[in-house]
């Protein structure tokens, strides 16, 4: 089930299986993140050292990698482009070439993307969709059909409590362990504290928390480089977490990659940056 609760210009979107929260994001109707938007762009600069091109999209500038279809485009050329990653960390949006669409006569927005609610609904076509706002329901009805219906409130008290907890830079893990989250521009550090679970064998504890750890990464939309400092493991034991961690990461729609265990003992994960992480949305 997908539930959407509107508060002013913001729509909170949650996907649940039974009582378990699987996915969560916030959609700002007045300031969308731009993912999926279609633009006419003009190539401003070819950057061989970056394997791509800077593109003027009107009031904003984006980056078109060579691998996303831009390799043959020259300075001054116009092209139709789709935003594949929101502007993050002071960098403009990431783009891909739309070879089957004609650009307009000048740079600018051609049409908005579907937004996170319709994207989530498309990924899970069998899910019922509950919305607590008649205006939003009418707006989305042509795309969602009878899958969508009005329900107020869309979120019950238990779900509201769980969503409120996502605003904190820490989370409870199984067996009394806890997760501490420290975002930085270059990477996000996830530190596991065994706490009351310190009496458990360290390997058994860390194996037990992996599913919830990966769920928290997805719910908070942590992305880019992620470093996980597991609790109290000797160097020889850390490698035993690699395969269980890879298996748990496969449940994430973004398919994060475990790069390995560093010499400092961190599990290094790369998760694609597409939309802003939850902590940035909550701070805006």
Question: Considering only CA atoms, which of 218, 236, 229 is closest in space to residue 268?
Answer: 229
Q: Residue 67: inside a domain, yes or no?
A: yes
Summarize pLDDT for 209-224 with one digit per residue, the tens: 999 999 999 999 999 9
In this structure, are 70 and 201 located in the same domain?
no
pLDDT, position 235: 81
What is the C-alpha separation between 166 and 175, in angstroms, rounded? 19
Average pLDDT in the chain: 94
pLDDT, position 215: 96
In this structure, are 144 and 9 located in the same domain?
yes
pLDDT, position 197: 61
In this structure, are 177 and 80 located in the same domain?
no
pLDDT, position 90: 79
C-alpha 22 chain-centroid distance: 13
Rg (CA), the chain: 21
Q: Residue 33: inside a domain, yes or no?
A: no
Q: Residue 235: inside a domain, yes or no?
A: yes
Task: Tell which of 138, 159, 180 closes a domain.
Answer: 159
Please report, for residues 38, 71, 217, 227, 257, the alpha-carbon distance to residue 224 in angstroms, rounded to integers and kept in the order given.
24, 24, 11, 10, 10
Q: What is the DSSP string of 16-49?
A: EETTEEEEEEEEESSS---TT-EEEEEEEEEEGG
What residues make up the domain containing 128? Answer: 2-28+115-159
- Model pTM? 0.90
In this structure, are 72 and 93 located in the same domain?
yes
In this structure, are 185 and 245 located in the same domain?
yes
Q: Residue 180: inside a domain, yes or no?
A: yes
Question: Considering only CA atoms, which of 168, 193, 162 is closest in space to residue 179?
Answer: 193
**DSSP secondary-structure letter at 266?**
P
CATH number at residue 19: 3.30.420
The pLDDT averaged over each successive group of 10 residues in the chain (284 residues) is 96 95 95 95 96 95 96 96 91 94 95 96 96 96 95 95 95 94 93 82 93 97 95 86 96 95 92 94 85
Q: Residue 73: inside a domain, yes or no?
A: yes
Summarize pLDDT for 97-109 with one digit per residue, the tens: 999 999 999 999 9
Number of folded domains that form the chain = 3
pLDDT, position 91: 85
Q: Residue 234: inside a domain, yes or no?
A: yes
């Amino acid at each position: 089930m997908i539930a959407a609760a509107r508060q002013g210009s913001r729509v909170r979107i949650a996907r649940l299986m039974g009582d378990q929260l699987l996915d969560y994001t916030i959609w700002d109707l007045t300031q969308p993140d731009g993912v999926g938007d279609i633009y006419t762009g003009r190539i401003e600069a070819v950057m061989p050292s970056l394997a791509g091109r800077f593109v003027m999209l009107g009031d904003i500038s984006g980056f078109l990698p060579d691998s996303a279809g831009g390799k043959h485009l020259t300075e001054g050329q116009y092209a139709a482009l789709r935003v594949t990653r929101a502007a993050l960390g002071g960098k403009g949006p990431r783009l891909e070439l739309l070879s089957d669409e004609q650009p307009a006569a000048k740079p600018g927005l051609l049409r908005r993307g579907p937004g996170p609610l319709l994207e989530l609904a498309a990924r899970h076509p069998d899910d019922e969709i509950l919305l607590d706002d008649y205006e939003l329901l009418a707006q989305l009805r042509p795309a969602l059909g009878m899958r969508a219906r009005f329900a107020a409130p869309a979120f019950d008290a238990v779900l509201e409590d769980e969503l409120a907890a996502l605003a904190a830079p820490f989370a409870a893990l199984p067996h009394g362990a806890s997760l501490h989250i420290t975002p930085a521009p270059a990477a996000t550090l996830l530190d596991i504290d065994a706490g009351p679970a310190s009496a458990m064998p360290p390997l058994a504890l860390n194996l037990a928390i992996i599913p919830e750890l990966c769920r928290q990464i997805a719910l908070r939309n942590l992305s880019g480089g992620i470093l996980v400092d597991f609790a109290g493991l000797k160097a020889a034991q850390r490698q035993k977490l690699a395969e269980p961690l890879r298996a748990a990461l496969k449940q994430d729609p973004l398919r994060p990659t475990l790069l390995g265990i560093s010499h400092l003992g961190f599990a290094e994960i790369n998760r694609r940056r597409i939309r802003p992480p939850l902590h940035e949305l909550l701070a805006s």
